[in-house]
Amino acid sequence: MTDVLLDRLADANPVPAAAVEDLNVELLDLALDMPCVSPGRPQRRRGLLVAALIAVAALIAAPALAWRFGVIDFSTAEPAPPRVVKEFDSLSTDAPAGMDPGVVAGETRRVVEVGGHILWVAPTKPGGLCYEWSNATGGCDSLGTVPLSLTWSIHRSIRGVEGFAHARWADDIEIELDDGSTIHPRVVWISRPIDAGFFYYRAPSGKTIEAVRALKDGEVMSAEGHGAPPGPHPFADLSRRDRVGEIQTDEGAATLWTAPTRTEGRCTWLEFGGKEIRVVSCLPKGYEHQAGLAFAVHKLGGDTILAGECGYSAVEFLHRDGSVRTVSCSDGLVFADLQPADVAGDMRAVDANGDPLRGSSLRVARAIVPS
């Protein structure tokens, strides 16, 4: 569903948010299985901040909602009361340095009420969303670039899934069951500035969920489970891959590659000895430059090589003799041939002013030896 198509659908069939309160709750009882959490508990706010960091969030909407409505008009939704606005504002005020999702707390709105659970949603300054279900879950996609976000319901096997997809990259959701059959669950779309569709699905008795795919014009744009391509760069456009750098070892070159995904994200991987080695998961657009470190240490050709995502200016290796080695990060990446003194000590992040970030120190990870 293109942005233009979404706009036309919203204009042709605007849905005042208050209208969804007329839903048949009996149809929704089975579609809600959310733990009860006190709205004021600090554990909940910390959980929201964690969700904002990894940009993996779940928005739950019952199929009955989509049976009756098209696109929910966010602009007509009821503004949130002060206590809810304060909770959303805490996502920014209580966020660690560099982790502010940029939520526009004053624009928080009451979008739907399902089975006694109210969905509060707010836009973010970078163009994404933060959300919270009353007495349940919440999180953020600060940049609005996560194409498909899922939460799995697992009890011995995967029986349920809930989540959202951004309209920019998806117009349908496909769920594959263990018998090979596919289901297209009802998706509820919310207009700009949210621009996302929410879905909930629970597999019939005796069946389990194998994969979930976000489709656009019938093409798979993103997937989790068995629906994702194998290898270290799912959905990457390898015709546009970029050689970041090489490290020569006694057994050949270790090459760091990146390539854009179909949804404008980035995959990063190593190539050595004719094999491709996963470094970190492919990241949505913009998140590769967020504050944080995600890396792996590999033993390749006798060398110990650090490769991964780095949202800081540099990393420092603190040696046991008190000396320090600094390795710069570039374009959100770090790639370095580690020395024995580096591996034996700690490492920490460095900001743009060259100052180490408090609380960022950690042990250098043990090297992965390729099989």
* Res 73 pLDDT > 80: yes
- For 327-368, how does the pLDDT look when each residue is reduced to its tens digit (9 = 90+)? 999 999 999 999 999 999 999 999 989 999 988 889 988 888
Cα–Cα distance, 161 to 289 (Å, whole number): 29
- Of residues 245 and 189, the one with the higher pLDDT is 245
- For 304-326, how does the pLDDT look when each residue is reduced to its tens digit (9 = 90+)? 999 999 999 999 999 999 999 99
- Residue 193: is the preceding peptide bond cis (ω within 30°)? yes
Cα–Cα distance, 350 to 321 (Å, whole number): 20
- Strands 346-350 and 324-328, by their bridges, are unpaired
- Of residues 341 and 133, the one with the higher pLDDT is 341
pLDDT range class, residue 136, cuts 50, 70, 90: low
| Range from 60-64, 123-127, 163-167, 359-363 that averages highest in pLDDT | 123-127
Q: Given this model, what pLDDT does residue 152 score?
A: 84
| Range from 40-44, 93-97, 289-293 that averages highest in pLDDT | 289-293
What the block records as the tokens of 69 is 């409505």
| For the chain, percent of residues with pLDDT exceeding 70 | 78
* Res 29 pLDDT > 60: no
Please list, in sequence order, all residues whose beta carbon lies within 8 angstroms of the beta carbon of residue 357, skipping any fewer than 6 positions away. Answer: 97, 312, 348, 349, 350, 351
Q: Given this model, what pLDDT does residue 306 score?
A: 96
Of 65, 54, 76, 71, nearest to 11 by C-alpha is: 71
CA dihedral sign, ordered 162, 163, 169, 172: positive
pLDDT range class, residue 8, cuts 50, 70, 90: very low
- For 213-250, how does the pLDDT look when each residue is reduced to its tens digit (9 = 90+)? 999 999 999 999 887 888 899 999 999 999 999 999 99
pTM to 2 decimal places: 0.76
Q: Given this model, what pLDDT does residue 309 score?
A: 94
pLDDT average, residue stretch 27-48: 36
Of 292, 271, 302, 270, nearest to 357 by C-alpha is: 292
Side chain identity, residue 319: H
pLDDT range class, residue 289, cuts 50, 70, 90: confident
Cα–Cα distance, 218 to 45 (Å, whole number): 38
Q: Given this model, what pLDDT does residue 202 score?
A: 83
